[in-house]
Amino acid sequence: MTNSDSQTAPVLQTLPGDEVRQIMWRFAERFDLQMAVQSARGVARGPVARLVAAGERNNHEWTEAKNELLAAFDAAGLTAAFMEPELGGFIAGPKNLAVALIAFELGWVDGGAATCSLAGNLALSPIHERGTDEQRTAYMSRCVPSPANSDGPQRGAFCLTEPLPYVGVDTGVLGGKIRVAAWEDGQEPVLQVEKRGRFITNMDFASFVVAAVDADDDRIKGSCMVILEETDPGTYDRGAPTQKLVHQLSSTCDPVFNLEVPANRIVGGYDIVDGVIVPRFSHGQVIEAVFQRTRVTVGAMSAAKLLSAVEPIIRYQRTRFRGGDSTPGTPRHDLGLQMKEDSLQRLVDVWATGEAAASLVFAAARLFDRYDPLEEQKNQTLTAQGIRGARAQFRTLRKMQTRALEYLELIESAGHGADDERLSALEGDPLIQFLVQDSLAQVLCPACKLWNTGYGANMMREAVSLMGGYGVTEDCPGFLPQKWVDAQLEATYEGPEAVQRRQLSITMTNALFLAQFRGWIRELSAMPNGPAMGAGTLAAAMELWDWSLQYLQGTLDADGHKLYRDQRHGVTFPMTDALCWLLASHQMVLDVTELSNKGEQHPVVASGLPGTLQFMRDLCHVQAARAAGEVGRICAELVYGYEGQAAEGSRYGATPDESFDRLRLHLDRSLAGSRLAKDRAATALSRVMIPEALDYPA
């Protein structure tokens, strides 16, 4: 290190502890969540880690040893965490942050175990989100470990293998079909359900399945999700285990069902209209509500992987030359590979990515905790107004977009002559609040799934590489190679990367989202500690992205086609990637700001706060610079790469005017100091105190 700041700045003393995380991720006041974290950690670093260390991942079968995990989840309260208190749970209110934290803790050790724990929630989610009251009470109470369920809790599986929203993938032969098997006058219709699933989690032990099916009968309309039970008459074949190379601590099979079930198993119920069974929710409506939330938890697993890699890598680097000819007290012995700048700086990149990923995913989870009651209020309000059905709701809400924008403008000018009465009125309108939060949810959810898992997998490769040859052995501390391949699955299930990009390419152009995005730029530019965190760099990158999006939306390619349009993935998808970098970095800045604001008041955190804050700000700066670099490259390629021409009515000329060059230059210059931050962070990594050993077996 050559800069004097590196020698004098306060240094990180220990790895950030629970108290620091509770402040950053905003659950310092939530004892229920803190206990859920400790509980999940006990399972992850106990039974789960022992299974992985014992090589239980090395087979595809659902073994007795793996099955014991289910009891461990039950005993630790993880199974009940998703349930309402009146049904045996212990967390009141929305549970998105709780579930994300549990996923994070389990994913810290093994993503498959996390998936195994969460798949039960996934099966219950359609019932929770769209089921009738009877369905919700029946199935959720059966899945709670309690004395009332003397044979043990039931477990479910979620069986989709169907066209996903935004993709249009036709999986043909695997599609489920539903027909009327019997329908006597005045009686509940009996349905024949045929379904083949692929890659279905929990299938080895699920006693019920929530399956997506299409109507194959004139007497049933559209598609729906239907609940199948093990005891229903017909075939309930769990199928062969999937030959996965990843997530082997979760059960995955390709099941086959051919069952007769009463029509009241349709999730959300049905109406009879002109002699036709009309499900109240199509399968698309159900899974949209489900995946909107469950994708967030997947992003939590990948974030945990990256942060969990830090300690084993530091230990490996420091001890690399011990036991050989090195002498205690020499840099070679004490620092090992940490004598080398490259080793340290690459680890800084891994850590910064993990921090940003965690910030993004927990921000999304908290957002959904705010969103859930608003969605409920929205549904009640619209129903009270006689507005039913997805399309009618959509039309109504669309008309309110202008008022929602007005609300955002009034917030910006609050206290500066804004119409406070009007602001207050709009603030109290649940539909306006829903629209605003919805515009964020539709961006943050796919963004954290896409960036955390996709770029996270890339950075896990980097983490593995930092362990040298050890990184590709079974006894690599921290199970890093397993985590690397697991991250690839996390990038794929619950909608692969293309699905997330496709959704983002639409939702990120929502005027409500963009209005908030521009507000963030102003906030970042005015932050008191902004320069230390690279907030100015981030603001400059956001401005460039915003300008580029508008340019691309108003420009035609050489063939006269709009550049930014539905199927032009070469344009839209890179812009989604660029946005994810910005969102992750932005949330990281907000989390470090929270630590800065609240850390001093916490006696434990305060004792090491200067060093912790300095390090976290430096990581922020590193990440902001990295994000800015990505955004600059992507935007320059797209803006200049197509040699576009102005669309009719566009304010842009055939080539980008000097605005782009000005913004790009501003961005480049805003990187000043970012490498010094990286130097400081690297120095901190060579000095930070770590435990003597990892707290789980390897």
Partner 1 sequence: MNQGFHIAVCGSLVPDPLQTLEPIAGPQGPALKNEMMLPAVLDPWASHALYEAAHLARQDGESRIWLVSIGPRARLQQLMMSIAQKAVFELVACDGPAGGFTDAAEVARVLADTVAAIPELDPQRLLLFGGCASASRDAGATLQMTGERLGITEQFLNVDELTVQEGVLRIKERIEGGRYLVSACDGPPAVVGWATGMLPEPPNNPQIGMQNMRSIMPALQRAKSVTLEAPELTFESVTVPQQRRDTRIVKDTPTDEIAAELVQWLREDS
| Chain residues in the site for partner 1 (CB under 8 A) | 13-14, 17-19, 31-32, 34-39, 42-43, 72, 75-77, 80-81, 90, 602-604, 607-608, 689-695
Please, which residue, 85 or 262, has the CB nearer to partner 1? 85
Please, which residue, 14 or 488, has the CB nearer to partner 1? 14
Please, which residue, 595 or 639, has the CB nearer to partner 1? 595
> CA gyration radius for the chain?
26
Please, which residue, 36 or 541, has the CB nearer to partner 1? 36
Shortest distance, position 22 Cβ to partner 1, whole Å:
9
Please, which residue, 100 or 508, has the CB nearer to partner 1? 100
Shortest distance, position 111 Cβ to partner 1, whole Å:
21
Please, which residue, 227 or 688, has the CB nearer to partner 1? 688
Which element (helix H / strand E) includes 479? none
Please, which residue, 22 or 285, has the CB nearer to partner 1? 22
Shortest distance, position 35 Cβ to partner 1, whole Å:
4
Shortest distance, position 604 Cβ to partner 1, whole Å:
5
Shortest distance, position 613 Cβ to partner 1, whole Å:
13
Query: Rounded to an integer, what distance in angstroms lies between the CA atom of residue 179 and that of residue 188?
Result: 14
Please, which residue, 140 or 556, has the CB nearer to partner 1? 140
Shortest distance, position 143 Cβ to partner 1, whole Å:
15
Shortest distance, position 73 Cβ to partner 1, whole Å:
10
CA distances to 12, 117, 307, 345, 686 from 341, in Å: 18, 40, 20, 6, 10
Which element (helix H / strand E) includes 215? strand 208-215
How many residues does the structure list for the chain? Answer: 698
Picking from 225, 229, 213, the residue whose alpha carbon sits closest to that of residue 143 is 229
Shortest distance, position 664 Cβ to partner 1, whole Å:
42
Shortest distance, position 476 Cβ to partner 1, whole Å:
19
Buried b (16+ CB within 10 A) or exposed e, 97-126: bbbbbbbbbbbbbbbbbbbbbbbbbbbbbb
Please, which residue, 35 or 400, has the CB nearer to partner 1? 35
How, if at all, do strands 270-273 and 252-262 pair? Answer: unpaired
Picking from 24, 5, 190, 168, the residue whose alpha carbon sits closest to that of residue 97 is 24
Shortest distance, position 186 Cβ to partner 1, whole Å:
45
In this structure, what token pair is assigned to residue 180? 């009327």
In this structure, what token pair is assigned to residue 484? 């690397």
Shortest distance, position 199 Cβ to partner 1, whole Å:
31
Beta bridge partners of 209: 157, 228
Please, which residue, 23 or 580, has the CB nearer to partner 1? 23
What value, to the nearest 5°, has the Cα angle with vertex 695 and ends 690 and 698? 110
Query: Rounded to an integer, what distance in angstroms lies between the CA atom of residue 178 and that of residue 330?
Result: 73
Please, which residue, 356 or 609, has the CB nearer to partner 1? 609
Please, which residue, 318 or 586, has the CB nearer to partner 1? 318
Shortest distance, position 176 Cβ to partner 1, whole Å:
37
Buried b (16+ CB within 10 A) or exposed e, 253-267: bbbebbbebebebbb
First and final C-alpha spacing in the chain: 34
Shortest distance, position 371 Cβ to partner 1, whole Å:
24
What value, to the nearest 5°, has the Cα angle with vertex 611 and ends 609 and 613? 65
Please, which residue, 85 or 233, has the CB nearer to partner 1? 85
Chain centre distance of CA 153: 28
Query: Rounded to an integer, what distance in angstroms lies between the CA atom of residue 128 and that of residue 281?
Result: 13
Shortest distance, position 128 Cβ to partner 1, whole Å:
19
Please, which residue, 274 or 692, has the CB nearer to partner 1? 692
For 225, which DSSP code? E
Query: Rounded to an integer, what distance in angstroms lies between the CA atom of residue 59 and that of residue 248?
Result: 7
Query: Rounded to an integer, what distance in angstroms lies between the CA atom of residue 513 and that of residue 535?
Result: 20
User: How many CA atoms within 13 Å lie on the side-chain side of 226?
Assistant: 32
Please, which residue, 34 or 264, has the CB nearer to partner 1? 34
Query: Rounded to an integer, what distance in angstroms lies between the CA atom of residue 178 and that of residue 278?
Result: 12
Helices (H) and strands (E) in the chain, counts: 26, 12
Shortest distance, position 691 Cβ to partner 1, whole Å:
4
Beta bridge partners of 637: none
Please, which residue, 44 or 200, has the CB nearer to partner 1? 44
Which phi and psi (to 5°) does residue 489 adopt? -65, -40
Which element (helix H / strand E) includes 227? strand 223-229
Shortest distance, position 695 Cβ to partner 1, whole Å:
5
> Residue 531 burial by CB count (10 A; 0-12/13-18/19+): exposed, middle or buried?
middle
Beta-carbon count within 10 A of 340 CB? 13
Query: Rounded to an integer, what distance in angstroms lies between the CA atom of residue 139 and that of residue 341?
Result: 56
Query: Rounded to an integer, what distance in angstroms lies between the CA atom of residue 364 and that of residue 97?
Result: 8
CA distances to 170, 196, 197, 227, 593 from 163, in Å: 6, 14, 13, 19, 42
